[in-house]
Amino acid sequence: MAHIQINNLHKQFGDVKVIRDVNLTIDDNEFVVFVGPSGCGKSTLLRLISGLEDLSSGHIKIDGERIDHLPPSKRGIAMVFQSYALYPHMSVYQNMSYALRVAKESKASIDKKVKQAAEVLQLTELLDRKPKALSGGQRQRVAIGRAIVRDPKLFLFDEPLSNLDAKLRVQMRIELTKLHKKLNATMIYVTHDQVEAMTMADKIVVIRDGIIEQVGAPLELYNHPANQFVAGFIGSPSMNFIDVKVIGKSDASLELELKNKTNIHIPCAEVDLHAIGDKMQIGIRPEKLILDEACDAMQDGEVFAVERLGNETYIYMHTATNNEIVLHAAGDKPVTEGDHISVGFKVADCHLFASNGEVVK
Amino acid sequence: MSLASDHDIDLIYQKSLRKRKNMRRLWLAFLLLPPILMLLIFVFLPMASAVLYSVYDWKGLVRGEFIGLGNYYDVLFKPRESWFLFNAFKNNVVVFISLMIVQNGLALVLALLLARKPAGYRFYQVVIFLPVILSTVIIGFQWKLFLNPIFGLVNKFLRMVDLDMWALPWLGLPETALGSMILVNTWHWVGFPTLVFLAAIHRIPKDLIEAARLDGANEWRIARDIIWPLMAPAVTIIVVLTFIGSFNWFEIPFIMGSLEGSPAYSTDTLGLLFYRTAFGSVSAGGSNFGAGSALAVLIFIFIFTFSIIVTKYLTSREIEMG
Amino acid sequence: MQTKKKANFNTWLMQIFLGCNAVIMLYPIFMMAISGFKTNSEIFGKPFSLPSSLNFDNFLVIWNTTDVPRYLLNSTIVTGLSVVLLLTMGTMAAYALARYKFRGNIMIYLFFLSGLMLPLRLAIIPLFIQLKYLGLIDSLLGLICIYTAMSLPATVFILTGFLKTLPSELEDSARMDGASEARIMVQIMLPLISPALVIAGIYTAVPIWNDFFFPLIFIQSPEWKTLAQGLTSFFGEYSINYGVLYAGLTLAALPVVTIFIIQSNRFIAGMTAGAIK
């Protein structure tokens, strides 16, 4: 249980600024997910919090106390690594007890803690095995067990599921969420997989190029992305973007022209910030596109790929004005490659982004 | 949290960071200094001293006056010394070329055969490597006994199969002594290049050889067109090691012949000559550290330069395997 | 049918060639061993037959009346201590070079590598004077120092290669667990490269055990001679008793051959370690 506060955090390797002015607050018992493309700095941020990396400037506080001057093991933090980093020459029991042995805890207390954690993770039968003799999922649980026995205030997870196969990944996702509830602990979880972020997080932190792009609950990010990057990153398949141009303004709305000469009106709070002739993009989620039905605006085009999953269908099309659009429909739609179709959307479902990527609506 | 306490913590942070950095430096120094010193004192210092020693006149163990390149002149151009030098050098060249052809050629054939994993593969491998692990002293004496003109097994065998005319005093004739020693050296070491080549062949992806076979190449074409070019790094290493070994050749002629490269200096080598010059012998007279050091420097420069050239040339034909 | 016959023929040809080669490799060693059990008259009279009885007289002569047991002991001490020192120092240097980023890392690595190319034999004269100055002539300690320094570059080279392959997350994990740098090295990382330590150990031990050149120059008193060197004086003493000579060679070869037969895989991997990238 811990409340984390990060102020003005910077990190650079030589001349390369990897983390730039990060400010973040994490509440007690929150499950926070850092998500972003690879190389965005999310793992570095995690390593800065863990103390494995020295920060260049800024503060990190846990429960109001500065910890950035403490070595990793004194911060009350435990970490689960991507490769699990189990010590290959030690048994499961020795792996889980190593930190406690280093800290010179009594044998009895070590034994109690390890047995307890093993119980929670159903590892009791495996305590004498070496990591080599465990399945991927079991290794994963040992790695978590090793973190639990230390009774940390904060758990860090560095892409812990990326080495598992798809089915196990889904299973572990649910188990981790359950574990979070059971342990009542604060957890930070790093992943590049936005599905993991959406399904597990209380709060998602989207990071790009060492900067936090947006912080919020999963659906908040999904429904109200702060910019085009977040809009495109969250959600699968990605949001569709269509080029538009501002052709008129009124008190509280912009009049936009699509490339196919359709005009739409989108409400806008600060009309004055935009000028006639500005280039913008509207964004529509694939599931908000409607097939063959009259709507606020239409896009015509040719289907170039169809993915049928039985319960849902993804239709990929080139529009007449050269945008690529993907449409998500429930059930099996009778559309095939090469078909000419027309899709429509409601203005209410549109997001609008200025040319610098910032959200307008 | 007030600003003042944050400032204090910043100071603590700076201090602990500095302390950790110093601890790390100390730890690295603890790890690195002993081995570095060891190498400096017992390898680099003597190597550098050799150069220094070679430009001084020596009276036994006492360093005399500076004489510039005098020692070099002596070993290179004094008629007697230069004959010894040339003779020994010529023998080393013969040894190198012979070992390249006989020892490494045989090794290549053995490696190509073993790479096909014939029945008894493990056994053959172990047997070929068995002599490699033995001391040259044991091998040298053993074969010296075998090659004894009267009691030696070799000649006893030759007489047994009615080849009396071949029962020569192998190590006693200037014509056959060096050749015999080269064959003994081959017997001793052939396992080494064989297993290095074999490891290199095993490293070639099976797909490549199978692809060549599907392309219709026969075993000879596969060996020539696929295996040989792709085992180039191993060949480079073996050539360089053979070169260095040949020009440092000392134990075999010392034990099977003598310090004087008998018979009649036909098995003399740079190694023996260096030893005689430095520490004295019947032919070279008393020990001469100056001339010995000059010889050592010359041998070193020669081996070093040639190794670099050979490596450069051979690595240029190596192909990176992804 | 035709090709199958041809393939069979080739297999036979290959087996004959390899078989002959094996005989050429093994027979001399076999002859050396059995001749050790023969008397002089047997060696001269029936050189190729098996000894008439399993007679250990020659070995007893060596064991009781020569210095060979002493030489064996000296070689064991020199090789043992050299290898222990080598592995300790080699691991220390290799660990620092493989696991830490610091300024000068590459320079120091190149420094060790350049040691690979220096033939120390050619520096025997300065080495002689240096050891004399240090009082290490005619002493096993002197040999140990030389062997350790001489084989250090190769050891560092081999061990650095292995240590670099260990994942850094293991180190991080141990750091999170609160282990000190020394503890991480000894408890976490080193156990994982024990196969490499065996390989490096064999790679260095065999040439040290077999070396003849350095003792030839640095050791004079019989009590400090090593096995390979001691054999030369032994050959001088017993030059006419062939049985004893063969027995001496056999005895000298026995320790390495025995270990080799038990551990042939590791020996082959170890001794070719420097030549295989």
Say which of A61, A64, A69 has its CB closest to residue B16: A69
Tell me the C-alpha distance between A105 and A112, whole Å.
11
> Residues A200, A342: one domain?
no
> Residues A206, A78: one domain?
yes
Averaged pLDDT score across all residues of chain B: 91
Tell me the C-alpha distance between C38 and C51, whole Å.
5
A327: which strand partners?
A315
Q: Are β-strands A240-249 and A279-284 bridged in parallel, bridged antiparallel, or unpaired?
A: antiparallel
Asked if C113 is an interface residue toward chain A (Cβ–Cβ < 8 A), one would say no
Chain B residue at shortest CA distance from A63 = B1
Tell me the C-alpha distance between A254 and A274, whole Å.
9
Cβ-based contacts of A54 with chain B (< 8 Å): 17
Tell me the C-alpha distance between C274 and C277, whole Å.
8
Give me the pLDDT at residue B320, please.
63
Contact B187 C25 (CB under 8 A): yes
Domain assignment present for B299: yes
Task: Give the number of beta-carbon pairs within 8 Å between A and C.
Answer: 53
Give me the pLDDT at residue C112, please.
94
> Residues A229, A293: one domain?
no
Q: Report the residue of B142, B256, B259 to disrupt the C interface, i.e. the one with the largest count of C CBs within 10 Å.
A: B142
Question: Across residues B271-275, what is the average pLDDT?
Answer: 95
Domain ends where: A177, A207, A233?
A233
Q: Report the residue of A91, A102, A139, A142 to disrupt the C interface, i.e. the one with the largest count of C CBs within 10 Å.
A: A102
> Residues B310, B162: one domain?
yes
CATH of the domain at A338: 2.40.50.140
> Residues B164, B259: one domain?
yes
pLDDT at B322 over 50: no
Chain B residue at shortest CA distance from C42 = B151
pLDDT in tens, C138-177: 999 999 999 999 999 999 999 999 999 999 999 999 999 9
Give me the pLDDT at residue C60, please.
92
Chain A residue at shortest CA distance from C174 = A99
With 0-12 CB in 10 A as exposed, 13-18 as middle and 19+ as buried, what is A239?
buried
Q: Report the residue of A70, A81, A114 to disrupt the C interface, i.e. the one with the largest count of C CBs within 10 Å.
A: A81
Averaged pLDDT score across all residues of chain C: 91
Q: Report the residue of C177, C187, C193 to disrupt the A interface, i.e. the one with the largest count of A CBs within 10 Å.
A: C177
Helix (H, G, I), strand (E, B) or coil at A237: coil
Give me the pLDDT at residue C3, please.
64
Measured in angstroms, the CA of B2 and the nearest CA of chain C are apart by: 30
Give me the pLDDT at residue C2, please.
57
- Residue spans of chain A under pLDDT 50: none
Tell me the C-alpha distance between C118 and C150, whole Å.
9
pLDDT at B191 over 90: yes
> Residues B157, B272: one domain?
yes
> Residues B31, B77: one domain?
no
> Residues B170, B114: one domain?
yes
Domain assignment present for A42: yes
Domain assignment present for B125: yes
Domain ends where: A204, A233, A262?
A233
Give me the pLDDT at residue B283, please.
78
Instruction: Name the strand (E) or helix (H) holding A341.
Output: strand A340-345
Contact B20 A69 (CB under 8 A): no
Q: Find tokens 């945008």 and name the residue.
A: A323
Specify the number of domains making up chain B.
Answer: 2
> Residues B184, B138: one domain?
yes
pLDDT at B2 over 80: no
- pLDDT bin (cut points 50, 70, 90) of residue B1 is very low
> Residues B255, B162: one domain?
yes
Q: Are β-strands A31-35 and A203-208 bridged in parallel, bridged antiparallel, or unpaired?
A: parallel
Specify the number of domains making up chain A.
Answer: 2
- Which residues lie below 8 Å from residue A269, measured CB to CB, with a gap of 6+? A252, A361
Q: Are β-strands A77-80 and A297-308 bridged in parallel, bridged antiparallel, or unpaired?
A: unpaired
CATH of the domain at B283: 1.10.3720.10
Q: Are β-strands A263-267 and A297-308 bridged in parallel, bridged antiparallel, or unpaired?
A: unpaired
Q: Find tokens 């499961």 and name the residue.
A: A92
Question: Across residues C250-264, what is the average pLDDT?
Answer: 91
Domain ranges, residue A311 = 240-353
> Residues B194, B237: one domain?
yes
> Residues A208, A259: one domain?
no
Domain assignment present for B66: no
> Residues A82, A164: one domain?
yes
Contact A50 C176 (CB under 8 A): yes
> Residues A79, A180: one domain?
yes
> Residues A135, A189: one domain?
yes
- Which residues lie below 8 Å from residue A82, measured CB to CB, with a gap of 6+? A158, A159, A160, A162, A163, C169
Cβ-based contacts of A88 with chain C (< 8 Å): 192
Tell me the C-alpha distance between A291 and C15, whole Å.
75
Asked if A88 is an interface residue toward chain C (Cβ–Cβ < 8 A), one would say yes
Do residues A304 and A317 touch, judged by C-beta distance below 8 A? yes
A190: which strand partners?
A34, A158
Cβ-based contacts of C271 with chain B (< 8 Å): 129, 132-133, 192
Sheet holding A351-353, edge to edge: A263-267, A253-258, A240-249, A279-284, A351-353
Contact A69 B9 (CB under 8 A): yes
Domain assignment present for B47: no
- pLDDT bin (cut points 50, 70, 90) of residue C192 is very high
Domain assignment present for A155: yes
pLDDT in tens, B93-147: 999 999 999 999 999 999 999 998 999 999 999 999 999 999 999 999 999 999 9
Domain assignment present for B63: no
Distance from chain centroid for Cα B105: 17
Domain ends where: A218, A233, A248?
A233
> Residues B294, B222: one domain?
yes
> Residues A191, A85: one domain?
yes
Q: Which of A237, A211, A240 is nearest to A228 (CA)?
A: A240
ipTM: 0.90
Domain assignment present for A360: no
pLDDT at C7 over 80: no
Q: Which of C32, C192, A269, A2 is nearest to B187 (CA)?
A: C32
> Residues A59, A85: one domain?
yes
> Residues A19, A69: one domain?
yes
> Residues A46, A186: one domain?
yes
Cβ-based contacts of C231 with chain B (< 8 Å): 137-138, 141
> Residues A225, A246: one domain?
no
pLDDT in tens, B242-251: 999 999 999 9
- CA distances (Å), origin A303, targets A333, B117, C157: 12, 56, 60
Instruction: Name the strand (E) or helix (H) holding C96.
Output: helix C68-99
> Residues B33, B77: one domain?
no
> Residues B84, B233: one domain?
yes
Domain assignment present for B51: no
Q: Which two tokens stand for residue A352?
A: 């609008």
Domain ranges, residue B246 = 72-315
> Residues B186, B93: one domain?
yes
Domain assignment present for B135: yes
pLDDT in tens, C195-253: 999 999 999 999 999 999 999 999 999 899 999 889 888 888 887 888 899 999 999 99
Share of chain B above pLDDT 70, in %: 97
Give me the pLDDT at residue A270, please.
79
Name all chains with 3 or more CB-CB pairs below 8 Å to chain A. B, C
Tell me the C-alpha distance between C73 and C50, whole Å.
31
pLDDT in tens, B296-314: 999 999 999 998 998 888 8
Asked if A82 is an interface residue toward chain C (Cβ–Cβ < 8 A), one would say yes
CATH of the domain at A87: 3.40.50.300
Measured in angstroms, the CA of C89 and the nearest CA of chain B are apart by: 5
Domain assignment present for B54: no
